């Protein structure tokens, strides 16, 4: 082998060592940054956001075909609600993505899903959504037993519905943003007939919501 060949061979191995060291340095930096983020995350320990149902109005509610001879019950309704969300964390921001809300009775969905605007809440910030939600065209179809129960509650003047919110949540620590987490929120709406309001249903009290992430 000539001296020239030996020189080229040495240059090849020198380049390999250089790139190997460069890759090791990059990997080391990635590990250090990852550990730093994990340490900050463990120290801060994000707390679930808080949700509450501030107001709830039943603009109309009709239950038809509630006889057992039918194999379904048709419900039509339009609801208006005010939903409040707050980020209780001191040093962590929260992104809300792809949020949808709908109403249920006895674990059965009775309205279409309505999209809520996306939001970002820095530490201590809050947001209020005030959507209208209603049944789809033609109404919502329920099993006869659930429809009968809803009709009986309506006649008795006492009704319990739930407002559900589903979507995605992301945490923000400094410039780092986490991946998406599934968000499920359930808010009870206790209603009773208000004789001073033409016999319509009245929202009885502000209700706290359960939040699952």
Find residue 5's DSSP bridge partners. none
Half-sphere exposure of 121 (CA within 13 A, CB side): 23
Contact 185, 213 (CB under 8 A): no
Using one digit for the tens of pLDDT, what is the confidence trace for 155-175?
898 999 999 999 999 999 888
Q: How far apart are CA 16 and CA 24, in angstroms?
A: 12
Average pLDDT over residues 43-48: 74
Of 124, 117, 128, the residue nearest 92 (C-alpha): 124
Please tell me the pTM assigned to this model.
0.77
Q: Is 21 helix (H, G, I), strand (E, B) or coil?
A: helix
Percentage of the chain lying above the pLDDT 90 cut: 53
Q: How far apart are CA 60 and CA 155, in angstroms?
A: 14
Per the structure block, which two tokens stand in for 11?
């240059």
Using one digit for the tens of pLDDT, what is the confidence trace for 82-107?
999 999 998 889 999 999 999 999 99
Contacts of 111 (CB under 8 A, 6+ apart): 77, 79, 102, 103, 133, 134, 135, 136, 140
Of 102, 128, 100, 104, the residue nearest 116 (C-alpha): 100
Give the residue extent of every domain in the chain: 1-45, 50-212
Work out the mean pLDDT of the chain and round it to a whole number.
Answer: 85
């Amino acid at each position: 082998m000539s001296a020239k060949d030996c020189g080229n061979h040495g240059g090849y191995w020198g380049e390999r060592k250089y790139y190997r060291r460069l890759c090791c340095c990059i990997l080391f930096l990635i590990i250090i940054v990852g550990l730093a983020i994990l340490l900050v995350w463990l120290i801060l320990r994000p707390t679930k956001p808080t949700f509450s149902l501030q107001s709830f109005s039943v603009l109309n509610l009709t239950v038809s075909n509630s006889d057992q001879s039918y194999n379904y019950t048709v419900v039509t309704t339009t609801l208006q609600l005010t939903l409040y969300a707050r980020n209780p964390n001191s040093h962590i921001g929260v992104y809300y993505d792809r949020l949808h809300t709908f109403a249920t009775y006895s674990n059965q969905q009775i309205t279409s899903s309505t999209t809520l605007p996306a939001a970002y809440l820095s530490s201590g910030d809050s947001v209020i959504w005030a959507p209208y939600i209603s049944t789809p065209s033609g109404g919502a179809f329920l099993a006869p037993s659930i429809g009968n129960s809803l009709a009986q509650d309506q006649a008795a003047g006492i009704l319990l519905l739930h407002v559900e919110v589903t979507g995605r949540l992301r945490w923000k620590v400094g410039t780092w943003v986490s991946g998406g987490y599934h968000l499920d929120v359930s808010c009870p709406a206790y209603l009773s007939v208000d004789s001073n309001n033409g016999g319509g249903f009245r929202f009885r009290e502000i209700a706290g919501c359960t939040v699952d992430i």
